[in-house]
Amino acid sequence: MVCKKCLEELTADNVYPSDHRYCITCGTEHTTYLSERRHTLASLREMNLESKIIQTKYLIKCAVMEFGLDKVYISYSGGKDSTVLSHIAKSMYPNILHLFANTTNEYPETIQHIKWEKEKNGTNIITVLPIDCHGELWTFKKVVERYGYPMFSKRVSSAIRTYQHALSERTKQNSQNYINRNFKKYDKYKELPISDKCCDKLKKEPLRQKAKELGLECTILGILASESYQREKDWLEYGCNVFHERNDNQSRPLSFWTDEDILKYISKYNVTIPKLYEMGYSRNGCMYCGFGVHLEPSHCNRYQKLKQTHPIQYTYFINNFGHLMLEFEINIV
């Protein structure tokens, strides 16, 4: 194994203790860099709303100038964050393309909102379905049956999937060590059907395929760095606009916004969002997704709320996945 930056061979004597991807010298430099980036992110978050709008427009414009308006698209979920992004982008480029990934696991209110955006609000939206290489529709149930349930978090699910599908005893032991170091309290679930593949199969891969089919080169995403550890870590490494550095070119012009900023913008500019938020939901996302559910109050988590607001979908959930929730120790009644 070699240092990610300088490619020096890593040994027990020169590996950086808190990040085994680096040698001590490069690890120390990287830690200093991340500290500076955190300060930058904090400064951006302190800006007032109008300043953030100006900065967001600049970032969107940079993406359009780099690739051309006909080569960029908004990855549109129908949620409040991507709707704010859409509202800002359309003020600059009224006909900018939106791709909506219908994962087959959407709330009815999200589907209704997409229809309203397209038919009543004049938004240029293409709906993308998760079709496999045989031309058949992927569904949430199919993905769970084949790969496992998306539970706890993407990082935990990925670690468990890697452990379960290790091709050698050495890889399996390394995976076990990784779980012990980072996710010890989830070790008891490592033999259960858990996986992080759901988002790939139902959303990321279909969007990537459609973008390739249409000749699109850059996606504009309405994600906030504050939403998760992984997203903040990604921003610290790459910033808002990531062009020609990774497999996918991305613009994340809302990364430094807070949830409070989003709500202020919606109120100030009278932005229409799905009725789901009026029903007490703070996110739209996929109905049955388990990422983060263990952090919610055990007496009013998303599944218990689903029982109250969408009884038909809740019954389907119980019939198909209720037994798994018992194994994951998630309260669903």
CATH of the domain at 132: 3.40.50.620
Check whether residue 4 and residue 60 sit in a common domain: no
Q: Is the pLDDT of residue 230 over 90?
A: no
Tell me the C-alpha distance between 85 and 126, whole Å: 17
**Domain interval for residue 22:** 1-46
Averaged confidence pLDDT in the chain: 95
End-to-end CA distance of the chain: 48
Check whether residue 256 and residue 300 sit in a common domain: no
pLDDT of the residue at 310: 97
Please state the rounded mean pLDDT for residues 96-111. 97
Q: Is 218 left (phi over 0), alpha (psi -120 to 50) or beta?
A: beta
Check whether residue 274 and residue 241 sit in a common domain: yes
The structure tokens listed for 137 are 């529709």
Please state the rounded mean pLDDT for residues 247-269. 97
Tell me the C-alpha distance between 207 and 242, whole Å: 18
pLDDT per residue as tens digits for the range 106-143? 999 999 999 999 999 999 999 999 998 889 999 999 99
How many domains does the chain contain in total? 4
Tell me the C-alpha distance between 235 and 226, whole Å: 10
Q: Is the pLDDT of residue 228 over 90?
A: no
287 within domain boundaries:
no
Check whether residue 213 and residue 168 sit in a common domain: no
115 within domain boundaries:
yes
Check whether residue 140 and residue 180 sit in a common domain: no
Q: Which residue has the tokens 């900065």?
A: 55
249 within domain boundaries:
yes
Is residue 105 within 8 Å of 287, Cβ to Cβ?
yes
Please state the rounded mean pLDDT for residues 99-104. 97
Check whether residue 224 and residue 103 sit in a common domain: yes
Taking only Cα atoms into account, the Rg of the chain, rounded to an integer number of angstroms, comes to: 21
122 within domain boundaries:
yes
284 within domain boundaries:
no
Nearest to 153 by CA among 227, 207, 89, 94: 227
pLDDT per residue as tens digits for the range 73-96? 999 999 999 999 999 999 999 999
Q: Which residue has the tokens 């058949």?
A: 136
Please state the rounded mean pLDDT for residues 58-77. 98
DSSP state of 192: S
Check whether residue 117 and residue 176 sit in a common domain: no
Measured CA distances, 233 to 12, 238, 246, 304, 327 (Å): 26, 9, 15, 31, 31
pLDDT of the residue at 44: 96
Which range among 5-9, 28-32, 60-64, 172-176 has the greatest average pLDDT?
60-64
Q: Is the pLDDT of residue 4 over 90?
A: no
Check whether residue 124 and residue 244 sit in a common domain: yes
Check whether residue 241 and residue 326 sit in a common domain: no
pLDDT per residue as tens digits for the range 174-202? 999 999 999 999 999 999 999 999 999 99
pLDDT of the residue at 132: 87
pLDDT of the residue at 15: 93
* pLDDT band of 1, cuts 50, 70, 90: confident
Check whether residue 59 and residue 33 sit in a common domain: no
Give 58-124 as a 3 state SS string.
HHHHHHHHHHCHHHEEEECCCCHHHHHHHHHHHHHCCCCCEEEECCCCECHHHHHHHHHHHHCCCCC
Decide: helix, strand or coil at residue 195: coil
For residue 34, give every residue at least 6 positions away whose Cβ sits within 8 Å of its Cβ, in sequence order, or none. 236
Check whether residue 308 and residue 216 sit in a common domain: no
Q: Is the pLDDT of residue 266 over 90?
A: yes
Tell me the C-alpha distance between 102 and 183, whole Å: 31
pLDDT of the residue at 254: 98
For residue 142, give every residue at least 6 positions away whose Cβ sits within 8 Å of its Cβ, in sequence order, or none. none
Q: Is the pLDDT of residue 18 over 90?
A: no
- In sequence order, the β-bridge partners of residue 106 are 286
Q: Is the pLDDT of residue 298 over 90?
A: no
Q: Is the pLDDT of residue 20 over 90?
A: no
Check whether residue 11 and residue 145 sit in a common domain: no
Q: Is the pLDDT of residue 229 over 90?
A: no
